[in-house]
Amino acid sequence: MDIVGNVLPQVLKDEATEDKGEMARLQSFVGAIAVADLVKTTLGPKGMDKILKPTGPGQEMSHITVTNDGATILRSMYVENPAAKILIEISKTQDEEVGDGTTTVAVLAGELLREGEKLIQKRIHPQHVIAGWRIARDVALKRLREISTENDINSQEFHDDLVKIARTTLSSKLITSDRDYFADLCVNAVLRLKGSSNLDYIQIIKLPGGTIRDSYLDDGFILKKQITIGCKTRIENAKILVANTAMDYDKIKIYGTKVKVNSMDKVAEIEAAEKEKMKHKVDKILKYQPTVFVNRQLIYNYPEQLLADAGITVIEHADFEGMERVAAATGAEILSTFDAPERSEQILGHCDLIEEIMIGEEKMIKFSGCKKNEACTIVLRGASTHILDEVDRSIHDALCVLITTVKNRRVVWGGGNSEMQMAAACEEEAKKVQGKQAFAIEAFGRALRQIPTIICDNGGYDSAELIQNFKVELQKGNLTYGLNMTDGTIGNMSELGVKECLRVKEQALLAASEAAELIMRVDNIVKCAPRKRERA
Ligand code: ADP
Ligand code: MG
């Protein structure tokens, strides 16, 4: 023993350290559970918000974020513990994959590890725990899929479901009181996409001022740009050419190119040649016979004038996103060469009306009656940028979930219903399995049940009593029951209209159990020494 103890420290070089066995596992558990506990209080419709405050030089108070979104909180955390990092990572992935359930996934993983720690203290080997968890996960997943329902995409029921899902997602956020209003708004925006899953087509414009109730979904599409001065600002029946091309003829000035010439005449000649080239390009564009020309890049005076003289309204410097959206909304193709004027009919975008409008104090361009109605704009108003940012995040969550639901169409009851049913499935399974795994399966169920427990606790209700009543209701066969968070009772979710998207729950279950398993497997943390620079 002594010999080993003396030899081992020399295996690793100076500064590299190693935590082994129990210590390593404990460190990982503590780190992951601490992170989960941090976001725990934000879970559910009565969850609390957190203020995130940056530190360090140059960070002002104005950069604070007030949020309830698990992913946002975790993303801005700076941690050293590797297990904590894993939890942060799964929350991020959840956000990117489905948009919601970001707190749930971290909390569930944390609770699994808490249960796991107890099992290890009972001298159950991690491999047995993992084996049990895997069985439990599959059982839970099976039950989750069984209890989900599907509606026809065009039916009224499906539309109602979408509104309910949006409301559930929004209910934990800042705008609880306005959630019906925003739920409708989000559903309408997503239905406009007609099955496309590209969130880019829904543009969100944030303008401080007014109240959040002044926010609205604009029928048309709004571009946060201005029409070049001197052009018509109202165009009916517009034919739009969308381009991404250089319209700057005097390259010599712009790039400071050096050209050696013998006389000023030569300079003028070069300029004239450049001008001629530009004119040629404009002529080619004119052949398409557009009435509006939208370019991603700047348009210089001379070409601008040529276009304006031809009676074309010019919109320049529409950034990349803006240009893509205009193209999507109006059904235009984005051009960078102009050699096929005969296809002009297909290439040009159409819309009934383009006009300059004022929102708040800002001038913008509105495209109404677009040929393809895919793109749309949500204009958010609110008293401060902090509120606007949080509303934006909430709406983003809702839009993501709705898009996922439109794709997947399966829904489950919210209010802890799915977690309780999955927990029940685990309990039933534990009774059938022989060996130590059974403990792990039971533990998995307990971890799942923690989600509704925490939601209750966060509302200030007596979770022990409520969860017991909840169990009884499910046992009685009231399978649509869940937490009524307004009254602090157990209620029928179909009356309260609390629904959730199956994909969100599926993803949370899979990601949390995978992360917990990963952390459970750790028995060694090796800190690598920083690589030293070689002395020359
Ligand atoms: P996440 O970031 O994981 O989405 P939330 O704070 O949004 O976390 O909380 C989601 C949980 O709150 C879900 O389990 C959902 O069922 C529950 N929930 C949301 N709205 C309600 C409601 N009105 N009544 C009961 N439970 C709700
Ligand atoms: Mg949520």
CA dihedral 502, 508, 514, 519 (to 10 degrees): -170
Q: Where are the beta strands (DSSP E) in 451-523?
A: 481-484, 489-492, 499-501
- Predicted local distance difference test score (pLDDT) of residue 442: 93
Residues 290-333 pLDDT 10s: 888 888 888 877 878 887 888 888 888 877 777 887 887 788 88
Higher pLDDT among residues 448 and 258, named by residue? 448
Query: Which residues are known catalytic residues?
Result: 69, 102-103, 397
| Of 284, 299, 286, nearest in space to 245 by CA | 299
Residue owning the nearest CA to atom 26 of ligand 1:
415
- Predicted local distance difference test score (pLDDT) of residue 252: 55
Residues 128-144 pLDDT 10s: 999 999 999 999 999 99
Ligand nearest to the CA of 39: 1
| Of 39, 2, 31, 18, nearest in space to 518 by CA | 31
- Run of H or E including 506: helix 502-520
Buried/exposed code over 213-249 (b: 16+ C-beta within 10 A; e: otherwise): eebebbebbbbbbebbeebbbebeebbbbbbbebbbb
Q: Which two tokens stand for residue 73?
A: 């909180």
- Predicted local distance difference test score (pLDDT) of residue 373: 65
- Run of H or E including 362: strand 362-370
Which of 172, 411, 451 for mutating ligand 1's site (highest number of atoms within 8 Å of CB)?
172
Q: Is the pLDDT of residue 4 over 60?
A: no
Rounded CA separation 62/235 (Å): 41
Query: Averaged over 447-457, what is the pLDDT?
Result: 94
Which of 147, 163, 171 for mutating ligand 1's site (highest number of atoms within 8 Å of CB)?
171
| Mean confidence (pLDDT) of the chain | 83
Q: Which atom of ligand 1 is nearest to the CA of 101?
A: 3
The DSSP letter of residue 262 is: S
| Of 172, 203, 212, nearest in space to 387 by CA | 212
Confidence of residue 388 (pLDDT cuts 50, 70, 90): confident
Ligand nearest to the CA of 95: 1
Q: Which two tokens stand for residue 39?
A: 């976001």
Distance 46 CA to ligand 1 centre (A): 9
| Of 328, 308, 310, nearest in space to 318 by CA | 328
Which of 39, 42, 43 for mutating ligand 1's site (highest number of atoms within 8 Å of CB)?
43
Query: Averaged over 73-94, what is the pLDDT?
Result: 87
Pairing of strands 410-413, 149-150: antiparallel
Q: Is the pLDDT of residue 1 over 50?
A: no
Q: Is the pLDDT of residue 251 over 60?
A: no
List of residues 6+ apart from 167 with CB closer than 8 A: 179, 180, 183, 497, 498
Distance 390 CA to ligand 2 centre (A): 13
Distances (CA, A) of 299 to 120, 176, 416: 68, 45, 56
* Residues β-bridged to residue 17: 527
Query: Averaged over 257-262, what is the pLDDT?
Result: 74
Confidence of residue 249 (pLDDT cuts 50, 70, 90): low
Distance 449 CA to ligand 1 centre (A): 14
Residue owning the nearest CA to atom 1 of ligand 1:
101
Residues 398-428 pLDDT 10s: 999 998 888 888 889 988 999 999 999 999 9
Q: Which atom of ligand 1 is nearest to the CA of 168?
A: 20
Q: Which residues line ligand 1 (CB under 6 A)?
A: 42-45, 47, 70, 100-104, 168, 171-172, 414-416, 451, 455, 483, 485, 498, 500
Rounded CA separation 279/507 (Å): 56
Residues 343-378 pLDDT 10s: 777 778 888 888 888 877 788 888 887 777 667 888
Residues 35-66 pLDDT 10s: 899 899 989 888 888 888 777 766 666 677 88
List of residues 6+ apart from 60 with CB closer than 8 A: none
Residue owning the nearest CA to atom 11 of ligand 1:
44
pTM score of the predicted model? 0.80
Residues 463-518 pLDDT 10s: 999 999 999 999 898 889 999 988 889 989 888 888 888 999 999 999 999 999 99
Confidence of residue 96 (pLDDT cuts 50, 70, 90): confident
Ligand nearest to the CA of 67: 1
Distance 102 CA to ligand 2 centre (A): 7
Residue ranges with CB less than 5 Å from ion ligand 2: 100, 169
The runs of H, that is alpha helices, within 332-380 are 344-347
- Run of H or E including 277: helix 264-286
Distance 104 CA to ligand 1 centre (A): 8
